[in-house]
Structure 1
Amino acid sequence: MCNLKPVKNQKSMSTKIQSLLLPFLLFALFFITVPTSGSTMEKGDAPDAVSSDVLDPTAFTLEQAVRQGLRANPRMAAVRAALRGAEFGEKTAGTAFYPTLSANYGFAYDDKPTMGGDREAWTLNINLNQPLFTGWRLLNTHQKAQLAVERARVEVENIELNLILLIQEQFLDLLKARENVRSAQDSVIRLQSQLQNTQAFFDVGLRPKFDVLQAEVDLARAEQDLLIAQNAVATQVARLNTLLNLNLSTETDYIGELTYLPYAPRFEESLETAYRLRPDIILALKAEEIAGKDVEIAASDFYPQVSADLDFYSRGTDPTVTGTDSRPDPWWTAGVNMRWKAFEWGRTRYATEQARQDVLRLHEETANLRLEVSFSVKSLHLKLEETAARIAVAQKAVEEAREGFRIAQARFQAQVGTNTDVLDAQARLTRAEADLTDAMADYQLTLARLFAATGERNPGLVVP
């Protein structure tokens, strides 16, 4: 019978412990499962993501190439992962408002116990802590985390804008390289024809051997230029395949040509659009707001920190903590605690002032960024006007150079012109065609950079 009594007490105490632990565990489980503000993006989600229409993996227009790059480029996957991380950070900051449940369990030995105390004791402590006032530190920390999420979203837009511009630049460089190939092929054909004519005149004794050699040298130089231009095309295709996350050995057809679409936006409108839409300016403003929250977080140590605690205790002479002679039953306590660091040699004041100076620094950097943006937009406006004028001049030069080459050939056939006249006219025509290609490419590149400078997404470079 004596052996059964401790077992009965042990079961009774275990029942008491379980009955007391159950509310704590249910309370903790409730707060663990309650979602905080903000939602987490799934793996494939992205803000303002482009449409996921299935594209032909071997043929892309400019707009389709941009959309493929935004969908498949690893840089976008990386920045979207950073956004998801920021959203989890906001959830983490939000949990600080809720109570925390902790447990302590251990063994202690007292070599000089008090009267009626226990020399050896096992102790179980379950604590529920609720912050009541932290000098607004928790609130500001959560708001800072929310701003971090907003900043991460803007960073996604910033990377998207930069990637759009990069793909557009490489695409236009490819179109330029193709035009250079076409011009080089025309040059080779013209020089081959001239070499045949010169050779024919030489064969009948009407032209010296020097003219034939001169024509052969110019043809060889044109063929080298053609090889260089063809390699430039292959290099640009490989670069675009890299940006679009395609296999480098894929035979990809990038469809398009250099065109001139007149566009003359007003500088003031472009500048206003840039101030409103450019992600880097928005990022700078978000950084100022976050720095302002850091000031308030640092200043929270000026205030007392107040919290409430609910504790459950149970002691025992063995690991089952079923009671001791001095404390046979478990007990609980509840209280409110206040901790106030009254003096720390100015640490909090210095930290707060340091945070304020950081706000001032970011404010001045934002002002400088606005100045740089205004210059960038202005310079691109001037460049757009310049390239548009160059196109008109280059088009006229090509027409005149073609007519000059035709006349030089006719004079040569009539034996009133020299081989050098024809070769010079051909070289002038090739240069005129190259100047027109450069002007057309520079115009569209400037157009793409202007849209990027104003923060506007225009994957297909469609002008209003």
Structure 2
Amino acid sequence: MFECVLAILLVGGGAWGYAGAPVLPLEDAIDLAVTANLRVQTAALEVNEVADDVEALKTRRYPRLEMAAGIADNLTRQRYTFDRGVWVQSSPIGPIPPEDIQITAKEGVSKAFSLSATQPITQLYTLALEIGEGGVDREMAATKVRLAQQDVGYLAKVQYFEIDRILGDIQAVDEAIVFLSSLSELVGNYVAQQVALEYEVLDVRARLAQRELERQRLVDEMATAKERLNALMDRDIETPFNIQSLPAPHPLTFDVDTSLGLAFAQRPDLAASELSVEKAEYSYEVKQSEYIPDVALNIEYLKLYDVKLIPDAEAYISLEMRWEFFDWGRKRDELSSRANKIVEAEKKSQEVRQRIAIEVRDSLRHIRTAQASVGVARQLQSAYREKVRVMTNRYREQAAVLSAVLEAEKQLFHANSDYNRAILSVWRALAEYERSVGEV
């Protein structure tokens, strides 16, 4: 029985997973994360917020319509006196007025109503600039959505790989548990036959207990990793699922120039840095437009009630201008500040471009190294499997000591774990490459 179980484990390892739980492919996990994640949804709301601000700004191009009405209660009596001859001292008919005239207003309530329409004229140029700046803000908000999707997609991949890493470690531990259980039975029989010492079986059992404790730790780690992936996908953290074990990817080769072209065309952080330059230019032009006088066309109608001394209604159209002709150098200094912001934004954009080029080249190096590590790990795994088989057979034949078997088992345990990590290192390197070129 020992040889049969050992042969099965040495050849294939054995699958491990949660029975009954649905399988979640990597592509589905990424799709759920980039669409349902709360961070992505928050970024999308910012796009709508900026778009609404731009639409509201556009309405300022049209006439401003205002209505005003008021009721006043005269608490005191108003009195107006016109002295004799105040208008004409002498005339054929004498002074006008011929005597002092006194007019007294009674206490009471008076009412007024006005209606006006104001159409901006020169301000339309500034509004057009501000609307253009708002369009840039909207594009920048959209790049934040893309950046959030890229980051969340990358985190989903990393978390998926972490679950696969834990799964591989559990499989390695399970293989070690079965092997040590069978070895403990074999050594126990040798102790009963007095061909092995008691401490040897105790040593095997202690190692078995360590592996079982390690398995429980990995199971707890697996539960936490799955909760984190569920949270990234914005679903109940206790939702059960299994993952698809990731195979060793086929050899991958990427051209540096092509990769850089993709990165410069797709990276949202580079697009955001270039938009920041455009926004700074709009901001400069908006500030420059403050030198233009504000000219507006105004139409107003005014109606007074309970008034008899003056006309109770008037309507007029006017062309109004307001211009701050001297500002003590304030606009000049503000323009200088915004010009510096343009230069600053351009330099930051250049810095982002350089950083992207370094990240792309570094990710390509990681892919190359990770792919080479798989072959090395596979060779070590095969070597230690064969060593375990040979040393176990030699121990059965009393030609090897137990410590040699246990050392070989320990080496195989680490080789199994290292092989799984080597495969995942290729997937992680590929995820880093996709992130570096701006793909989700």
Unaligned runs of 5+ in 1: 1-56, 318-322, 458-464
CA distance in 1, matches of 2:259, 2:251: 16
Question: Do structure 1's residue 358 and structure 2's residue 341 form an aligned pair?
Answer: yes
Spell out the pairing of 1:49-198 with structure 2 (5 A cutoff). Answer: 58-107=22-71, 121-134=110-123, 136-198=125-187
CA distance in 2, matches of 1:428, 1:63: 35
Q: TM-score if structure 1 supplies the norm length? A: 0.81
CA distance in 2, matches of 1:147, 1:364: 19
Alpha-carbon deviations, 1:418-437, whole Å to 9, x = none? 10010000011111111111
2:8 corresponds to which residue? none
* RMSD of aligned alpha carbons: 2.1
CA distance in 2, matches of 1:363, 1:81: 28
- CA-CA distance at 1:70 after TM superposition: 2.6
- CA-CA distance at 1:296 after TM superposition: 1.0
Alpha-carbon deviations, 1:392-438, whole Å to 9, x = none? 10011101110011011011011010100100000111111111111
From 185, 203, 208, the counterpart of 1:214: 203
1:326 corresponds to which residue? 310
Q: Secondary structure at the match of 2:236?
A: coil
- CA-CA distance at 1:159 after TM superposition: 0.9
Spell out the pairing of 1:342-357 with structure 2 (5 A cutoff). Answer: 342-357=325-340
Identity over aligned pairs, percent: 19
CA distance in 1, matches of 2:190, 2:367: 49
Q: For 2:35, give the aligned amino acid.
A: R
Q: For 1:262, give the aligned amino acid.
A: P
Check the 8 A contact 2:78/2:104 in 1, yes or no: no
CA distance in 1, matches of 2:282, 2:299: 31
Q: Secondary structure at the match of 1:207?
A: coil
1:267 corresponds to which residue? 256
Unaligned runs of 5+ in 2: 1-20, 83-101
2:13 corresponds to which residue? none
CA distance in 1, matches of 2:429, 2:68: 67
From 303, 311, 319, the counterpart of 1:314: 303
CA distance in 1, matches of 2:222, 2:265: 38
Q: For 1:431, give the aligned amino acid.
A: H
2:410 corresponds to which residue? 427
CA distance in 2, matches of 1:440, 1:117: 103
CA distance in 1, matches of 2:230, 2:104: 77
CA distance in 2, matches of 1:358, 1:134: 24
Q: Secondary structure at the match of 1:136?
A: helix
Change (3 A) 1:112 1:341: farther
Q: For 1:222, give the aligned amino acid.
A: R
Q: Who wins on radius of gyration, i.e. which is larger?
A: 2
From 369, 373, 380, the counterpart of 1:386: 369
Q: Secondary structure at the match of 1:105?
A: strand
Q: For 2:209, give the aligned amino acid.
A: A
Change (3 A) 1:113 1:61: farther
1:7 corresponds to which residue? none
CA distance in 2, matches of 1:85, 1:336: 36
Question: Do structure 1's residue 451 and structure 2's residue 428 form an aligned pair?
Answer: no
Q: Secondary structure at the match of 1:345?
A: coil
Question: Do structure 1's residue 296 and structure 2's residue 285 form an aligned pair?
Answer: yes
Q: Secondary structure at the match of 1:417?
A: coil
The more displaced of 386-395 and 359-368 is 359-368
- CA-CA distance at 1:158 after TM superposition: 1.3
Check the 8 A contact 1:270/1:377 in 2, yes or no: yes
Q: TM-score if structure 2 supplies the norm length? A: 0.85
CA distance in 1, matches of 2:195, 2:394: 14
The more displaced of 406-415 and 227-236 is 227-236
Check the 8 A contact 2:61/2:124 in 1, yes or no: no
CA distance in 1, matches of 2:104, 2:62: 37
From 225, 246, 259, the counterpart of 1:257: 246
CA distance in 2, matches of 1:274, 1:379: 13
1:415 corresponds to which residue? 398
Check the 8 A contact 2:144/2:268 in 1, yes or no: yes
| Count of residues paired in the alignment | 395
- CA-CA distance at 1:294 after TM superposition: 0.9
